[in-house]
Amino acid sequence: MVPKNEYHVCVIGLGSMGMGAARSCIAAGLSTYGSDLNPAVRDSLARAGAVAVGPDAAAFAAQLDAVLLLVVNAAQCRAVLFGENGLAAKLRPGTGVMVSATISAADAQAIGAGLAEHGLLMLDAPVSGGAAKAAAGEMTVMASGSRAAFDRLRPVLDAVAGKVYEIGEEIGLGATVKIIHQLLAGVHIAAGAEAMALAARAGIPLDTMYDVVTHAAGNSWMFENRMKHVVDGDYTPKSAVDIFVKDLRLVTETALTLGFPLPLASTAYTMFANASNAGYGKEDDAAVIKTFAGITLPGQKQEK
């Protein structure tokens, strides 16, 4: 076992989840590096104790034992790993690459094949739990890959995860489990928004409706977390509307591949796509409620 401070990991993508994961790696005693195009988040991680940061990981690639990829989508994964100045060619053979973006099984398999050509070990390992659990090192990880990949990335898993599900060896299984999870997450947000919109239309104070639901059987983690944003009138993005447009598209495409009907997920996708089309794509995903007409939400001016 490599001593913690001699294990070098780079977190690529320092958004709310990536920053939390990187700070958790630092807290666990791993020698932690960070990469992001945003200089403000790079500086923040440097102040938190990162060994080095940069707009890409090229400067320290040869020192790394592991890479944790927490970017938005498959295109960004491919660009980081295989694009111009791609990282895969710069990593030492045997380095572990934990791909934690929400992507399709086919994309995960293609990325895995590309990494294998460079002698790299991939863990198909999407995550869930939000910014708070990422910061606490308590994310849920849904992972598939070889035993060698799990072993190589164990220090990272121990640092960032409260629960690790080892789903199997086949790359793509982790991605599929995350996609099914996102079906539920997206439907729960959409249903919560619909319920709160109905309450607004009926003249019920939304803080009262929120309190009732969160102490009754209709509650869910997504309702409790996201509908609080609606009550507060705060749509600062933790996870944006456009993220669920992407994720629910993956859900529906997976269902189409399997010839399987998903009526609720399809409706939720339409709701998020409508919200994005209306200009709310960069706001918190709770902003899907803003597409309901004839209601006034907290923080909005009273409609005439």
Instruction: Measure the CA–CA gap between 26 and 51, rounded to whole angstroms.
Output: 9
133 tagged catalytic: no
Instruction: Measure the CA–CA gap between 210 and 289, rounded to whole angstroms.
Output: 14
Residue 45: closest CA among 67, 21, 68: 21
> Residue 40 to residues 35, 47, 81, 286: CA-CA distances in angstroms?
11, 11, 23, 26
| b/e code 256-293 from CB counts within 10 Å (16+ = b) | eeeeeebeebeebbebbbebbeeebbebbbbbbbbbbe
Residue 7: closest CA among 171, 157, 165: 157
Instruction: Measure the CA–CA gap between 75 and 107, rounded to whole angstroms.
Output: 9
According to DSSP, residue 58 is labeled G
Instruction: Specify whether the CB–CB gap between 257 and 265 falls below 8 A.
Output: no
Instruction: Measure the CA–CA gap between 207 and 27, rounded to whole angstroms.
Output: 37
Residue 24 token pair:
């958790």
Query: Which residue is catalytic, options 133, 178, 246, 290?
Result: 178
Query: Which residues on adjacent β-strands are paired with residue 284?
Result: 240
Q: How far is CA 266 from the centre of its chain?
A: 21
Catalytically active residues are 178
